[in-house]
Amino acid sequence: MKVFAPATVANVACGFDILGFALDRPGDTVRARLSSEPGVTIEKITSQFGDLPFDPAKNTASVAAAAFLERYKPGLGLVLEIEKQMPIGSGLGSSAASAAAAVFAAHQLAGEPCSKADLVEFAMLGEAVACGSAHADNVAPSIIGGFTLIRSYDPLHVLSIPYPNHLRTAVVHPEIEIRTEDARKVLKRNVPLHQAIAQFGNIAGLVLGLCTSDSSVIATSLDDVIIEPERSVLIPGFMKAKVAAIEAGALGCSLSGSGPSIFALCESEEIAIAAGKQIAAVFQEQGIASTTYISGINNQGAKVLD
Amino acid sequence: MKVFAPATVANVACGFDILGFALDRPGDTVRARLSSEPGVTIEKITSQFGDLPFDPAKNTASVAAAAFLERYKPGLGLVLEIEKQMPIGSGLGSSAASAAAAVFAAHQLAGEPCSKADLVEFAMLGEAVACGSAHADNVAPSIIGGFTLIRSYDPLHVLSIPYPNHLRTAVVHPEIEIRTEDARKVLKRNVPLHQAIAQFGNIAGLVLGLCTSDSSVIATSLDDVIIEPERSVLIPGFMKAKVAAIEAGALGCSLSGSGPSIFALCESEEIAIAAGKQIAAVFQEQGIASTTYISGINNQGAKVLD
């Protein structure tokens, strides 16, 4: 069985740790087959984006699949073949896509014993191996598709947010490395109440704008007053790129996850292409090569390819 | 001209400073007439709930109306007669209702020179006189009606949130006094990031649940992890009353504004009546008399009575 799980944009400006959406492309592919031997093994990893561990206890895909099997089919053995088709450490949810694909493949081979939403908690365990902490804002959209809300982490409660179908996004991945450690280090442990209130308003506005297909409300709400100001300093040219994307017509522009990728949410493919070009041009001025992905919001999430 | 502006429930559990909704009753009535002498004067105040200032510079109603006239009809004089029909300092938005009624009356007499939403900023100035700070989460629903979001304070941006029409609320006002000063004193200046994230999820969930008429999502999202734990200690029996209201079938229960009133949001009039009785019974056990208001969500806001 061959499955695909898409790249994702987490946080979506104001929704730190709670919002995310899935892209049509890129994404990761996992081939999986049942084995007579219990446990999960990794047979092959294809990647042009750097080395990934074969040790099943260290690879995000095998950890996620193993946790799933332990709950639903303890005797089942699984052999994985991972085709990495997206950059690692890019802010595009690379480790989440592998975990999502693996756990979805295990779910299919095990006869679909639960709902897609139930898979999120197992994929999170894969995320934890890769990132050091178990976040769901990438794995949830990668599995379920669409625009997702992690309403609560304790207990885990994942919801789908309706959104206008015409939305398109440009995600630009600059070839710079931000260590997750550094991206976490800049986070404040405490938020001034007045900043929290500003973020409350933007989060409520973004959900309202998505639910009511109101582009101007989406645009004005795509504003992160807490995390972006801290993390964006790690990305050369960020503010110039953001302004250029919005001038090109984007509804908003912010970090994809913890960066360094930048996403621009737009009302059409044409605007997304224009915004993507603007962002890439700013990186080029800084002497930084980048890759641009233009995509709709993928409403399917993880899927079987054959 | 005689106008009415309704009482309001601000904060609505997780939406500190940004969410509010209007009640059908109680509310305040203001009679207003034009005068040849510029400025706003207060001719009469009827109140069984305590004294209010006649000084136009100190009364929330006259301050709001004067600010409006100064912007739109600088030469116009106004005489106000305020009929206070709801308790003061109750958490029901009493000062907001007077300010909303006065500014709405001025707006009508001046020939409706702007939109209802534009009136919010003037009513806020009235609020500031009464509370010491200019909040909009009571005045906005009192003027506009319905369920409102203050998406941003700077610049002021007020939005209406769709909501299921069958929602009813019980608001129980216990006869205890909480000084606004004390209610503000317990507020933290900084919020731990993990608490802010939990609140982000609940706010997003509440707006999503309202927009999609999903009662279970509304119920699970009506949870304030930041303000309620601090302020509710000022209200004897709060937690017991909350549990009793939810056991009676309420979707959620929290402080109305900064209290001492408690609201329970419910799916029907019957449940609201039952929840209101439970809350009142808990106050009675504590030796505290209370008044219960059962109401739908008022979608009209401020209105002309004759």
This model of the complex carries an ipTM of 0.96
Can the peptide bond before residue A6 be classed as cis, meaning omega within 30 degrees of 0? no
Per-residue confidence (pLDDT) for residue A12, from 0 to 100: 98
Per-residue confidence (pLDDT) for residue A123, from 0 to 100: 97
> Is the distance from CB of A85 to CB of A53 less than 8 angstroms?
no
Read off the pLDDT of each residue in B227-245 and give the average, rounded to a whole number. Answer: 95
Cα dist from B271 to A30, B213, B246, B283, whole Å? 51, 17, 10, 19
Residue B182 — pLDDT band, cuts 50, 70, 90?
confident
Q: How near does any CA of chain B get to the CA of A104, in Å?
A: 25
Q: Which residue has the higher pLDDT, B248 or A128?
A: B248
3-class secondary-structure state, position A267:
coil
Residue numbers in chain A where pLDDT is lower than 50: none
A150 and B201: CB-CB below 8 Å? yes
- A-facing residues of B in 89-148 (CB < 8 A) are none
Residue A180 CB neighbour total at 10 angstroms:
16
A159 and B220: CB-CB below 8 Å? no
Read off the pLDDT of each residue in B172-192 and give the average, rounded to a whole number. Answer: 86
Q: Please give the span between the terminal C-alpha atoms of chain B, in angstroms, as a whole number.
A: 6
With a cut of 80, say whether residue B42 has pLDDT above it.
yes
Read off the pLDDT of each residue in B74-94 and give the average, rounded to a whole number. Answer: 93
Can the peptide bond before residue B26 be classed as cis, meaning omega within 30 degrees of 0? yes
Q: How near does any CA of chain B get to the CA of A155, in Å?
A: 11
What is the 3 state secondary structure string of chain B?
Answer: CEEEEEEEEECCCCCCCCEEEEEEEEEEEEEEEEECCCEEEEEEEEECCCCCCCCCCCCHHHHHHHHHHHHHCCCCEEEEEEEECCCCCCCCCHHHHHHHHHHHHHHHHCCCCCCCHHHHHHHHHHHHHHHCCCCCCCHHHHHHCCEEEEEEECCEEEEEECCCCCCEEEEEEECCCCCHHHHHHCCCCEEEHHHHHHHHHHHHHHHHHHHCCCHHHHHHHCCCCCCHHHHHHHCCCHHHHHHHHHHCCCCEEEECCCCCCEEEEECCHHHHHHHHHHHHHHHHHCCCCEEEEEEEECCCCCEECC
- A305: which strand partners? none
- H or E segment to which residue A61 belongs: helix A60-72
Residue B185 — pLDDT band, cuts 50, 70, 90?
confident
Per-residue confidence (pLDDT) for residue A36, from 0 to 100: 86
Residue B49 — pLDDT band, cuts 50, 70, 90?
confident
- The β-bridge relationship of strands A156-161 and A147-153 is antiparallel
User: In chain B, which residues have their Cβ closer than 8 Å to the Cβ of A193?
Assistant: 187-191
With a cut of 90, say whether residue B50 has pLDDT above it.
no
Per-residue confidence (pLDDT) for residue B304, from 0 to 100: 98
B17 and A189: CB-CB below 8 Å? no
> Is the distance from CB of A212 to CB of A220 less than 8 angstroms?
no
Per-residue confidence (pLDDT) for residue A130, from 0 to 100: 81
Encode pLDDT of B199-212 as tens digits. Answer: 999 999 999 999 99
Gap between the Cα atoms of A291 and B113, Å rounded: 52
Read off the pLDDT of each residue in B141-159 and give the average, rounded to a whole number. Answer: 98
Identified catalytic residue from B41, B81, B83, B180: B180
CA A259 to chain centre: 11
- The β-bridge relationship of strands B262-266 and A39-47 is unpaired
Encode pLDDT of B109-118 as tens digits. Answer: 999 999 999 9
Q: What residues of A act catalytically?
A: 127, 180
The sign one gets for the Cα dihedral B265, B267, B273, B275 is negative
User: In chain B, which residues have their Cβ closer than 8 Å to the Cβ of A197?
Assistant: 16-18, 153
CA B225 to chain centre: 21
Q: Is A153 an interface residue toward B (CB < 8 Å)? A: yes
Q: How near does any CA of chain A get to the CA of B140, in Å?
A: 14
> Is the distance from CB of A72 to CB of A114 less than 8 angstroms?
yes
Measure the CA angle with vertex A197, ends A195 and A201; round to 5°: 115
Gap between the Cα atoms of B262 and B258, Å rounded: 9
A188 and B193: CB-CB below 8 Å? yes
3-class secondary-structure state, position A69:
helix
**How does the average pLDDT of chain B come out, rounded?**
95
User: In chain B, which residues have their Cβ closer than 8 Å to the Cβ of A188?
Assistant: 193
> Is the distance from CB of A257 to CB of A92 less than 8 angstroms?
yes
Can the peptide bond before residue B38 be classed as cis, meaning omega within 30 degrees of 0? no
High-pLDDT (> 90) share of chain B, %: 88
Per-residue confidence (pLDDT) for residue A131, from 0 to 100: 76
Q: Is A190 an interface residue toward B (CB < 8 Å)? A: yes
Identified catalytic residue from B29, B60, B127, B292: B127
Gap between the Cα atoms of A128 and A33, Å rounded: 24
Residue B168 — pLDDT band, cuts 50, 70, 90?
very high
Read off the pLDDT of each residue in B25-41 and give the average, rounded to a whole number. Answer: 94
Phi then psi dihedrals of residue B203, to 5 deg: -65, -50
Per-residue confidence (pLDDT) for residue B187, from 0 to 100: 86
CA B214 to chain centre: 24
B220 and A150: CB-CB below 8 Å? no
Q: How near does any CA of chain B get to the CA of A84, in Å?
A: 31
